[in-house]
């Protein structure tokens, strides 16, 4: 199962080597992180990033090894944005000449870059950005300017203190005409002493949610006062500005300016499975350690993992971690395919890639954020201790529901794609993830054939149920929209229903990709069977949770919904014997997991007890401040008898 989770034996071995390298290096200690003040915390992050880079250089790590190393260091840092957004943006939107100039500098870390798109006044609405880039043909330069307070760049990670350069998104103005938002490479700080260059005001935006957590990142604010950059620092793969001041659009679609977001959203789906699996690993191991009630004749109490309520909350999350792992793998393939096509000027699959990355980013991050919090509750009181690892994991993870596109805004993008597909059904055969809509007549007509709980153990029955629900919800939205004279008004009015239809479509993708994974050759005794059980758990859990949808569209009867739930209970009993092995398969070191409750050896209570005494409050028996603030109250002589 470790191989199935990692994707291949090579990846397992490589990631294992990197995990151990980090775990055994004292520089990467992270348990004191939530206790540190901001300055100390940030300095410590800089130290870790520098040490990580030294290892990459000294050990001549490959790009793949370096990625795993950064993952296991497990601390948000400016390097995430440098490697994860700045470099990919130049790769995707730069011309060959620009790539040749900037990529070696960035890859050798001679410059440090961030991705400065969002502003104080606008994040979701990229077309609403206010920063301007005005072409000055006399000087052959762009003038980058922040005309209003709300045009201040606000949020970019790595901007606050670390970056020397930024990829700035600004409205292009050529000859007095606006040409929409484009990307510009702007140097922010001196390469000599790191001080801000003339015309640049830059700093950190302040503390964020949680202790430690995302506060290791210097999310920044940036203002420009007529800052000049050479013309060739506008990324010009999509459109160009000539020396003479002529704006030219190549045959590459404009949407490619948003390409970096498509790339990052895809990586976020893969990361969702990592974050959820960490939380699930902690909650599952601890649920096997923890005992409450049920002692018979003085014997041990019941392990809480044996309670059906615990199983019905925990096992769907375990199954979701696997489901997200496999849909992430598929999405990576889809992205690579689109990338190759784009390089060959084939843009036909870009809309589907956008819809899939946007929708799956939204679906998986929402489920993961909720899932981490559920895991905290599954660990009872001890889950609330920082030493459980869950509070910091939650605090670091939840902004994933917002960054790279607010999750609702992204589902509305999926809705646009679905509505368009439905409206074109008469004359255009849908392909890819919407191919099922080509069978809409059958899906509207056929009803579920399940008669017994056993009948639900059938991939065909499950896929058809999810297809019918998604198709019927999409068609219902299409019919409602048709009643509006103005389509945009209709879209705004029906937005909540459209978002629900998008969720149904995205859940169908995840379920289908899990089923497709099981059609592949999966070596290892019992591995495929265990994955089949998890796949059914994932699908039937969703069916149970959203049974309102399945019933409302008239595909299921209440009896069939009850049979699905009966089957789910049976499946939980099948997961139980392998639950610990299924989380051990994630192959996480205790360092990466960062949790006393999730320790591999299960030695929870002694270690919790030990850790309590390491808290600075326990440095002395009498706390600092006691004599000043508490003792006077204890000693005071009160005059009123009532008090
Ligand atoms: C490894 C890194 C670690 C992660 C750390 C996280 C760091 C975080 C970084 C960030 O957050 S960076 C900032 C991210 N910002 C966003 O995600 C903003 C979200 N907003 C948007 O993406 C867009 O503005 C919008 C919501 C898609 C709307 O854009 P716009 O108003 O211009 O478009 P529409 O009119 O709705 O659509 C026009 C047309 O374009 C298609 N489209 C939109 N986006 C894309 C895309 N990315 N790729 C391809 N196509 C796209 C859209 O579907 C429409 O198509 P048609 O319907 O006209 O066919
Ligand atoms: C930790 C973190 C790191 C970040 N890193 C970066 C970075 O490196 N670079 C960068 O450029 N940006 C970064 N961002 C910014 C991020 O991309 C934006 O915050 C995000 O895109 C959401 O935009 P917003 O803040 O404008 O939200 P808003 O759009 O203001 O959202 C507020 C509310 O309005 C709703 N809403 C908005 N529009 C609509 C609509 N059309 N229909 C219905 N509801 C709507 C949303 O659903 C939400 O509930 C980061 C943000 C965070 C939190």
pLDDT along the chain (643 residues), means of 10: 97 98 97 93 98 98 97 98 98 96 98 98 98 98 98 98 98 97 98 98 97 96 98 96 95 89 96 98 98 93 97 98 98 95 90 97 98 98 98 98 98 98 95 97 96 98 98 98 96 98 98 97 95 98 98 98 98 98 98 98 98 96 97 87 61
Among the bound ligands, name the one nearest to the CA of residue 84: 1
- Domain boundary residue, one of 215, 233, 250: 250
In a domain, 41, yes or no: no
- Predicted local distance difference test score (pLDDT) of residue 637: 85
Among the bound ligands, name the one nearest to the CA of residue 154: 2
- Does residue 236 share a domain with residue 161? yes
- Give the DSSP letter of residue 161: T
The residue to mutate among 166, 402, 407, 489, having the most atoms of ligand 2 within 8 angstroms of its beta carbon, is: 402
427, burial (CB in 10 Å: exposed 0-12, middle 13-18, buried 19+): exposed
Distance CA 195, CA 209 (A): 28
In the chain, how long is the greatest CA-to-CA distance? 92
Distance 410 CA to ligand 1 centre (A): 8
> 115: Cβ below 6 Å to ligand 1?
yes
Q: State the DSSP H helix or E strand holding residue 240, giving kind and residue range, or none if neither.
A: strand 239-241
ipTM summary value: 0.98
Which atom of ligand 2 is found nearest the CA of 214? Answer: 1
In a domain, 610, yes or no: no
In a domain, 357, yes or no: yes
> 405: Cβ below 6 Å to ligand 1?
yes
Distance 404 CA to ligand 2 centre (A): 8
The residue to mutate among 124, 264, 404, having the most atoms of ligand 2 within 8 angstroms of its beta carbon, is: 124
The residue to mutate among 119, 413, 423, having the most atoms of ligand 1 within 8 angstroms of its beta carbon, is: 413
In a domain, 56, yes or no: no
- Does residue 405 share a domain with residue 284? yes
Going by CA atoms, what residue is nearest to atom 1 of ligand 1? Answer: 84
Distance 114 CA to ligand 2 centre (A): 17
- Does residue 480 share a domain with residue 418? yes
Residue with tokens 């929402």: 366
First vs last C-alpha separation in the chain: 66
Query: Of these residues, 91, 352, 374, 404, which one is catalytic?
Result: 404
116, burial (CB in 10 Å: exposed 0-12, middle 13-18, buried 19+): buried
Distance CA 416, CA 213 (A): 35
Distance CA 23, CA 82 (A): 24
Which atom of ligand 2 is found nearest the CA of 169? Answer: 11
Contact (Cβ atoms closer than 8 angstroms) between residue 602 and residue 285: yes
- Does residue 508 share a domain with residue 367? yes
Which atom of ligand 2 is found nearest the CA of 157? Answer: 8
Distance 425 CA to ligand 1 centre (A): 25
Distance 105 CA to ligand 1 centre (A): 28
Active site residue 404: yes
- Does residue 322 share a domain with residue 236? no
> 79: Cβ below 6 Å to ligand 1?
no
Distance 159 CA to ligand 2 centre (A): 17
Going by CA atoms, what residue is nearest to atom 40 of ligand 2? Answer: 409
Which atom of ligand 1 is found nearest the CA of 399? Answer: 6
- Predicted local distance difference test score (pLDDT) of residue 345: 86
Among the bound ligands, name the one nearest to the CA of residue 150: 2
Token reading at 253: 């679609």
Q: State the DSSP H helix or E strand holding residue 631, giving kind and residue range, or none if neither.
A: helix 631-635
- Does residue 304 share a domain with residue 238? no
Distance 120 CA to ligand 2 centre (A): 10
In a domain, 636, yes or no: no
Among the bound ligands, name the one nearest to the CA of residue 218: 2
- Domain boundary residue, one of 205, 222, 250: 250
- Does residue 511 share a domain with residue 466? yes
Q: Compute the residue count for the chain.
A: 643
> 126: Cβ below 6 Å to ligand 1?
yes
In a domain, 79, yes or no: no
Going by CA atoms, what residue is nearest to atom 13 of ligand 1? Answer: 404
Q: What's the domain count of the chain?
A: 2
Distance 241 CA to ligand 2 centre (A): 30
> 408: Cβ below 6 Å to ligand 1?
no
Distance CA 348, CA 430 (A): 12
Q: Can you name the residues that pair with 184 across neighbouring β-strands?
A: 168, 234
Among the bound ligands, name the one nearest to the CA of residue 215: 2
Q: How many CB atoms lie within 10 A of CB 518?
A: 16
- Does residue 242 share a domain with residue 298? no
**Which positions ≥6 away from 582 have C-beta within 8 Å?**
1, 284, 318, 530, 534, 575
- Does residue 264 share a domain with residue 234? no
Going by CA atoms, what residue is nearest to atom 27 of ligand 1? Answer: 413
> 331: Cβ below 6 Å to ligand 1?
no
Range of the domain at 210: 86-250
Going by CA atoms, what residue is nearest to atom 7 of ligand 2? Answer: 156
- Domain boundary residue, one of 547, 565, 582: 582
φ/ψ (deg, to 5) at 62:
-75, 170
Instruction: Give whole-number Cα distances, 464 to 320, 468, 508, 629, in Å.
Output: 20, 6, 9, 68
**Which positions ≥6 away from 626 have C-beta within 8 Å?**
none
Phi-psi domain of 345 (left: phi exceeds 0; alpha: psi -120 through 50; beta: other): left
- Does residue 263 share a domain with residue 225? no
Find the helix packing angle between 259-289 and 390-397, rounded to 10°.
160
Report the CATH number that the domain containing residue 157 is assigned in CATH: 2.40.110.10
In a domain, 616, yes or no: no
> 117: Cβ below 6 Å to ligand 1?
yes
User: Which residue stretches of 290-432 are H helix?
Assistant: 308-343, 350-378, 390-397, 407-423
The residue to mutate among 181, 261, 415, having the most atoms of ligand 1 within 8 angstroms of its beta carbon, is: 261
Residues within a 6 A CB radius of ligand 2: 81, 115-118, 122-124, 155-157, 214, 219, 399, 402-403, 405-406, 408-409, 412
Contact (Cβ atoms closer than 8 angstroms) between residue 86 and residue 106: yes
The residue to mutate among 155, 188, 489, 496, having the most atoms of ligand 2 within 8 angstroms of its beta carbon, is: 155
Going by CA atoms, what residue is nearest to atom 29 of ligand 2? Answer: 124
Distance 409 CA to ligand 2 centre (A): 9
Which atom of ligand 1 is found nearest the CA of 115? Answer: 12
- Does residue 281 share a domain with residue 151? no
147, burial (CB in 10 Å: exposed 0-12, middle 13-18, buried 19+): exposed
336, burial (CB in 10 Å: exposed 0-12, middle 13-18, buried 19+): exposed
Distance CA 634, CA 89 (A): 63
Among the bound ligands, name the one nearest to the CA of residue 122: 2
- Predicted local distance difference test score (pLDDT) of residue 642: 65
Report the CATH number that the domain containing residue 457 is assigned in CATH: 1.20.140.10
> 180: Cβ below 6 Å to ligand 1?
no
Q: State the DSSP H helix or E strand holding residue 181, giving kind and residue range, or none if neither.
A: strand 177-187
In a domain, 226, yes or no: yes
- Predicted local distance difference test score (pLDDT) of residue 303: 97
Closest CA to 265 of 372, 350, 170, 364: 364
- Does residue 282 share a domain with residue 241? no
Q: How many CB atoms lie within 10 A of CB 335?
A: 19
Distance CA 271, CA 265 (A): 10
């Amino acid at each position: 199962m470790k191989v199935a989770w990692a994707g291949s034996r090579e990846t397992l071995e490589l990631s294992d080597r990197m995990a151990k390298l980090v775990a055994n290096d004292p520089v990467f200690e992270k348990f004191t992180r939530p206790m540190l003040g901001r300055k100390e915390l940030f300095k410590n992050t800089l130290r870790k990033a520098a040490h990580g880079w030294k290892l990459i250089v000294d050990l001549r790590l490959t790009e793949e090894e370096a990625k795993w190393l950064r993952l296991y260091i497990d601390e948000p840092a400016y390097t995430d944005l440098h490697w994860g957004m700045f470099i990919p943006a130049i790769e995707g939107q730069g011309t060959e000449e620009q790539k040749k100039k900037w990529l070696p500098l960035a890859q050798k870390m001679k410059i440090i870059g961030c991705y400065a798109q969002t502003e104080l006044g606008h994040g979701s609405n990229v077309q609403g950005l206010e920063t301007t880039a005005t072409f000055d043909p006399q000087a052959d330069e762009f003038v980058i300017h922040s005309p209003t307070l709300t045009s201040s760049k606000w949020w970019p990670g790595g901007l606050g203190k670390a970056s020397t350069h930024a990829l700035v998104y600004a409205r292009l103005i050529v000859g007095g005409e606006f040409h929409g938002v484009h990307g510009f490479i702007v140097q922010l700080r001196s390469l000599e002493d790191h001080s801000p260059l003339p015309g640049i005001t830059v700093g950190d935006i302040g503390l964020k949610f949680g202790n430690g957590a995302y506060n290791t990142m210097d999310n920044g604010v940036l203002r420009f006062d007529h800052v000049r950059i050479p013309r060739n620092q506008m990324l010009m793969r999509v459109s160009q500005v000539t020396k003479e001041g002529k704006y030219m659009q190549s045959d590459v679609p404009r949407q490619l300016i948003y390409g970096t977001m498509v790339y990052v959203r895809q990586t976020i789906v893969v990361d969702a499975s990592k974050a959820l699996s960490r939380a699930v690993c902690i909650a599952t191991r601890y649920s096997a350690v923890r005992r409450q009630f049920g002692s018979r004749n003085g014997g041990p109490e019941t392990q809480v993992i044996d309670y059906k309520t615990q199983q019905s909350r925990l096992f769907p999350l375990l199954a979701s971690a696997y489901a997200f792992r496999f849909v992430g793998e598929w999405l990576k393939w889809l992205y690579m395919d689109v990338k190759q096509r784009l390089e060959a000027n084939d843009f036909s699959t870009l809309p589907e890639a956008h819809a899939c990355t946007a929708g799956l980013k939204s679906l998986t991050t929402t489920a993961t954020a909720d899932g981490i919090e559920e895991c905290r509750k599954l660990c009872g009181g001890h889950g609330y201790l920082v030493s459980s690892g869950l509070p910091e994991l939650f605090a670091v993870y939840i902004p994933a529901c917002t960054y790279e596109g607010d999750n609702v805004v992204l589902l509305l993008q999926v809705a646009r794609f679905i509505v368009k597909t439905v409206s074109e059904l008469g004359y255009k055969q849908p392909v890819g993830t919407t191919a099922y809509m080509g069978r809409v007549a059958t899906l509207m007509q056929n009803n579920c054939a399940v008669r017994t709980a056993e009948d639900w153990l059938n991939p065909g029955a499950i896929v058809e149920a999810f297809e019918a629900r998604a198709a019927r919800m999409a068609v219902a939205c299409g019919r409602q929209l048709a009643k509006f004279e103005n389509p945009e008004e209709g879209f705004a009015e029906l937005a909540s229903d459209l978002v629900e239809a998008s969720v149904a479509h995205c859940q169908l993708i995840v379920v289908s990709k899990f089923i497709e994974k099981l059609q592949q050759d999966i070596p290892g005794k019992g591995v495929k069977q265990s994955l089949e059980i998890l796949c059914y758990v994932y699908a039937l859990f969703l069916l149970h949770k959203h049974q309102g949808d399945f019933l409302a569209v008239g595909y299921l009867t209440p009896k069939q919904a009850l049979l699905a739930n009966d089957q789910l209970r049976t499946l939980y009993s099948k997961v139980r014997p392998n639950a610990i092995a299924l989380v051990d398969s994630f192959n996480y070191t205790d360092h990466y997991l960062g949790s006393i409750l999730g320790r591999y050896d299960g030695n929870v209570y002694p270690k919790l007890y030990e850790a309590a005494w390491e808290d600075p409050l326990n440095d002395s028996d009498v706390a600092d401040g006691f004599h000043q603030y508490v003792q006077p109250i204890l000693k005071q002589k009160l005059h009123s008898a009532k008090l």
